[in-house]
Amino acid sequence: MGQAGSAGAIAPTLAGPRAIVAVTIGNAVEFYDFLIYSLFAIQIGAALFPPMTGSGNLVASLGGFAIGFLARPVGAYVIGRWSDVHGRKPAMVASMLLIGVANAGLAFIPSFAEIGWAATVLAVLCRLLAGFALGGELGCNSAFLAEASDPERRGLTVSWQGTSQMIAVVAASGMAWLLAAVMSPADFTAFGWRIGIASGLVAIPVALWLRAGLTEPLPPGAEDVVAAALSQPQRRRLIVGAFLILATGTIANYFLIYTATFAQDTLKLPPEAGFAASTWSMAAGALALVLGGFLSDRWGRRPLLWLGAGSLAAAAWPAYAIILTVPGAGSLLWGSVLLGIAQNLGIGALYVAMTEGLPRHWRGTGFGLLYAVAIGIFGGATQPVLAWVLGRWQDPWLMAWAMLALGLVQLVGAALVPETGPRRAPAYRPTAR
């Protein structure tokens, strides 16, 4: 249900495969660079933070990861507003350059043993810059994909934004898994994490080259073919419902990303077992996410939101029963895969509903802020809080209860979000004679 255009309005430019690849690869690179920090939290804590007793270094390192989330709403507003006024392309190029600088700096910071508290301060500054960049990226690329897509395939197209995030986590987990497998424990702790952090930098020039060739999908004067005809109460319901799903969804996904640390710290499994489970759960989640976006073009956005939330609630206990009843690398992998599928089935539909629910002049900023605030509050706090809770109560079944609660809250969010998808024309049926 896009807004009607006036006579003589400029038509939007539909994106070809190259444009979609340019946007999604860039998004994947930025997420890879931002998230790979969490997979090396134990090693970074030992290298860049002051020595602490117990799990203090791990909690402090994860706190450094959480710091990056504080800057994401600022980046969402500054870079997102720039994209709404001046275009999506320059904003996306700028955000990629910034995250490249942040991760290059982090990879080469001398250790705490060498420069003391300066190492910790520099690490925190790099995380703030990375968060600022990623906060601006998400609204820009989601708006671009929505505005450049065929309305009949908008759900599938926009879902690639989320799928690229999952692919980034898969790549990051795979890199950590590979390094843990081929390096000695001492080398992995000493400098393996630096190789992992720096590995994402090699793709930035390619992503920048691809983005340099993009064309703005909605140039000045073009009609907004994306925005659904929602009333103000409907738009408020969408914002509240989307916030609930985003908040609970990011907590669930960071539970899955925490698998690498959970395997080592709680289940006492080798690092490669946790990295393997995290890798495969995110790969399964990527497939579920793009499948959900595809189905939302046929069934509507709301049915997929209901299906995703219900799947997460239903899968919570069975998944953790697999993981905890017979602890091991195989059970950890299969339980994590089940959770990865359940958590991400409705996310593609959510992303496209958010782009369709916001008008053009506020789409990049609004999407970015809604996403960044939800993720900033809950995503950044999830892993340090989870590490503290598990250290305090020593009961991993608390994760099952938490995941069940997340699914139930997502059901509330799904009930609030109105249908935003274009109405499909009814199929032609010949008159009976």
337: left (phi over 0), alpha (psi -120 to 50) or beta: alpha
Q: Return the minimum-mean-pLDDT range out of 73-87, 125-139, 222-236, 267-281.
A: 267-281
| Closest C-alpha to 327, from 276, 400, 396, 402 | 396
Which uninterrupted H or E stretch holds 340?
helix 329-344
Q: Residue 313 is encoded by which pair of tokens?
A: 């609630």
pLDDT digits (tens, 9 = 90+) for 347-373: 999 999 999 999 888 898 999 999 888
Taking the C-alpha atoms of residue 391 and residue 1, their distance in angstroms, rounded to an integer, is: 50
394: Cβ contacts below 8 Å, ≥ 6 apart = none
Taking the C-alpha atoms of residue 100 and residue 22, their distance in angstroms, rounded to an integer, is: 16
Query: What pLDDT does residue 403 have?
Result: 87
Q: Is the pLDDT confidence value at 139 over 80?
A: yes
Q: Is the pLDDT confidence value at 280 over 90?
A: no
To which residue do tokens 């080592």 refer?
264
Query: What pLDDT does residue 88 have?
Result: 87
Alpha helices in 11-71 (DSSP H): 17-39, 41-48, 56-70
Query: What pLDDT does residue 12 have?
Result: 54
Query: What pLDDT does residue 10 have?
Result: 53
Query: What pLDDT does residue 7 have?
Result: 39
Average pLDDT over residues 122-149: 88
Query: What pLDDT does residue 220 have?
Result: 66
Query: What pLDDT does residue 53 have?
Result: 60
How many CA atoms, within 13 angstroms, populate the side-chain half-sphere of residue 186? 0
Q: How confident is the model at residue 427 (pLDDT cuts 50, 70, 90)?
A: very low
Query: What pLDDT does residue 55 have?
Result: 60
Q: Which of 9-13, 53-57, 232-236 has the highest mean pLDDT?
A: 232-236
Higher pLDDT, 430 or 78: 78
**Which amino acid is residue 263, in one-letter code?**
A
Average pLDDT score, the chain: 83
Q: Is the pLDDT confidence value at 247 over 60?
A: yes
Q: Are 422 and 227 in contact (CB under 8 A)?
A: no
| Closest C-alpha to 317, from 211, 401, 388, 193 | 401
Query: What pLDDT does residue 8 have?
Result: 43
Query: What pLDDT does residue 345 have?
Result: 93
Query: What pLDDT does residue 430 have?
Result: 37
Query: What pLDDT does residue 293 have?
Result: 94
Q: Is the pLDDT confidence value at 245 over 90?
A: yes
For 10, the 3-state DSSP assignment is strand
Name the CA dihedral angle for 68, 72, 78, 81, rounded to a multiple of 10 degrees. 160
Name the CA dihedral angle for 134, 140, 144, 147, rounded to a multiple of 10 degrees. 140
